A and B are shown apart, each in its own frame.
Chain A
Amino acid sequence: MLKFISSLKLAVFLIAAIAVISILATLFPAADAFHSWTFRLLVAAFFINLATCTVKLLPGLWKQLHRSAGQVPEQGAYTGYEADEAELTVWLKEQHYKVSRVEENGQIKILASKGKLGLCAPHVLHISLLIILIGAMMSMANTSGFVMGQVGQTRSFPEELRAHYGDTYSIEILDFRTVYDEKQSVDNWVTTFNIYKDGIMVAEGAETKVNEPYAYHDMLIYQNSYDYRHLVEVAGCADADSNSAYGIPDNMPLGIGADTIVVADLNGEMYLQVSDHINPARGQFVQPGDTLSLTEQGASVTYLGTVVYSVLELKTRFGTPVVFAGFLLAVVASMMFLCSRYRELWVIHVPGQHSCRVHCYSKSAVVVEEVEESLRETWNIKTEEQ
């Protein structure tokens, strides 16, 4: 049973199954397959398969890393080379092989190995995948929420995060600005803010921008987006809230009495328009303080100005460091694959003869061929193969 659970056959089946479900999930997004129990079970099975397989393989890896010359087998497809053992050893060391040597039964046996990083690479990669999966599981507990505020305002933490941090935190938006590059295209959006806990400042002048979220404890604060509100005040209208300004989004109608009020940002100039069902729409470019009359006798609307809201996303990052550690290990493993491939040379030499029998072992036929070629070029092959 354990043999099956840790088997390569099961691995191939599970990888194929996860691939097939993923394909279907992108074709039918409404089914939300990635959050289904079937998919989670498959991933769990994959985790167990990989974990047991790794545990099973590690002792063998350890043994191979610590093999000594005494374990060089005497049978095998050895090829003869015109070199004595001392010369060959010098050459192997020049080629950066790690060489171990024993004398037994009137023979000298040499084990030379190179590329141990490559030997470990699959295992390091497998372990990194396990770590990533553990971190991903942990990060399912994360929550996120939005804070939206205009410059100068103080806002409490969003509902979703209050469960985690309590009621005590708030954010004061100090500044929001758009940064341009030398070609006058938008480079970034930046919000500066303070964080308070129980009214005491715990982070001062913190800055968040796209691609560089601000880290506070186990939370990241992102520059999510921004939004404009045009402030207008309506006077002398029965239907309007008295003495209060309306903040209306750009180009969105606000109905007051018989009228509809719209403010639009036209290339940085504000255009205020008033319309009702009877008369043609009236409008003009406005500066703060400009007033337009409404349909109702004595009623008017005053444009007060435009304020910008910064929208921040707050996210807990439980498990993310674990995932990132796994990522780092996966990159390290990838480098290990790229920079080294494992090979062993088994050499048997009978003292007194000016020749050796050599066998190259590697999982890759290409590597074996390369090694044999360099041996051929350096040392003549003896004709007979044993």
Chain B
Amino acid sequence: MEQLQLPLLWFMLAAYLGAFMFYAFSFWSRNAAIRNLALKFVYVGLVLNTVVVVLRSVLIGGLPLNNGFEFGLCFVFAAAVAFVIIEKKFNLSAVGLFVMPVLVVLSIWLVSLDLTVQPVMPALRSYWLAVHVSAAVISYGSFAVSFAVSIAYLIKDKKQHDNTSRVQELPALKVLDEASYKLIFIGVPFLTIMIVTGAVWAEYAWGSFWSWDPKETWALITWLVYALYLHTRFMKGFKGKRAAWLSVLGFAAVIFTFFGVSYLLPGMHSYLV
């Protein structure tokens, strides 16, 4: 069964890539019917994604949240789910053009990883880990989609007065702004739960709830950036463009926490590779 993972992952990647290409084509040709086809590809990708998640759970006999591959797999899954939900709620299908590249890049990274099942080190055998990583998956998924929505906002904002531009196909700026806020508003509580449960787990596993290890610190930085996002909204002139930039910055922090820290900085959290 272990051998089934890779082909399924390739099919999943192909579906997300197909969705991206149809989104791009519908954007270019201003054809809403093609956009609906693209959305169908997203659903196919999501089904395959679910199958891989379930398969992996069966293989390891538990929640697939123990290493970089398993986390990445659930991250992609959560982002796809967040997109599907927010798309329904705000009628945002056109934004798929910006969400799909995130899913495609992450999926390419996934197929490049070692998919064999390895024993889990004792420190990682904790219920706190399951809660900690589940919360991370949900918050990162929301932030990924919020990032894509904000990119759509910034692109539309740049050409909003050009009536001939294709960006007019994108949802209204106000809708994009609200959707991004809604996603961040869901992501932040889960990020808070992620940091708190991570700290409790660190207290039990390593004897310190906070040790300024780079991964911890970057999770905190991410949290601070999104706190800025939420508070600047109460101040004049911070909705819209500046908020969109903060959302982009926040997701950059997410990505750095996830990849940058593991690959570029030294620290305790070296389970990714």
> Which chain A residues have a beta carbon within 8 Å of chain B's beta carbons?
8-9, 11-12, 15-16, 18-19, 22-23, 25-27, 29, 34, 125, 136, 144, 181, 183, 185-189, 210-213, 220, 222, 224, 313, 315, 320, 323-324, 327, 330-331, 333-335, 337-338, 364-366
Contacts and interface: CB of A to CB of B under 8 A. Distances in A.
Interface in B154-171: none
Interface stretch (B49-57, B92-100, B107-115, B199-207): B199-207
A211 B207 contact: no
B178 A366 contact: yes
Contact of A210 (B123, B182, B200, B203): B123
B218 interface: yes
Interface in B208-224: 208-210, 212, 214, 217-218, 220-221, 224
A365 B181 CA distance: 10
B225 interface: yes
B88 interface: no
A334 B221 contact: no
Nearest to A178: B122
Interface of B: 119-123, 125-126, 174, 178, 181-182, 185-186, 188-190, 192-193, 196-197, 199-201, 203-210, 212, 214, 217-218, 220-221, 224-225, 227-228, 231-232, 234-235, 261, 265-266
Contact of A188 (B125, B178, B190): B125
Contacts, number: 109
Given A337-B188, A338-B189, A26 B207 contact: no
A12 B192 contact: no
A3 B199 CA distance: 34
A37 B197 CA distance: 28
Given A186-B122, A334-B190, A213 B204 contact: yes
Main DSSP-derived SS at the A contact region: helix
Contact of A12 (B204, B218, B228): B228
Nearest to A9: B235
B221 to A, nearest CB: 5
Given A15-B224, A136-B210, A210-B122, 10 more contacts: A12-B232, A125-B192, A213-B204, A224-B207, A323-B209, A334-B188, A337-B185, A364-B181, A365-B174, A366-B178
Contacts of B261: 26
A224 B204 CA distance: 11
Contact of A220 (B188, B207, B218, B228): B207
14 contacts: A19-B221, A22-B221, A26-B217, A26-B265, A144-B207, A185-B119, A211-B201, A327-B196, A331-B193, A333-B189, A334-B192, A338-B189, A364-B182, A365-B174
Contacts of B217: 22, 25-26
A23 B209 contact: no
B79 to A, nearest CB: 18
A261 B184 CA distance: 62
Nearest to A188: B122
Contacts of B181: 364, 366
A214 to B, nearest CB: 11
Contact of B218 (A8, A11, A26, A211): A26
Contacts of B234: 8
Contacts of B266: 29
Nearest to A221: B207
B207 A315 contact: yes
A119 to B, nearest CB: 14
A335 B197 CA distance: 14
Given A12-B228, A16-B228, A183-B119, A313 B192 contact: no
Contacts of B119: 181, 183, 185-186
A15 to B, nearest CB: 5
Given A220-B207, A337-B189, A211 B228 contact: no
Enumerate the 5 nearest inter-chain pairs by beta-carbon distance, A residue then B residue, closest first: A185-B119, A334-B189, A19-B224, A327-B196, A210-B122
A212 B181 CA distance: 39
A210 B205 contact: yes
A364 B199 CA distance: 31
A323 B123 CA distance: 22
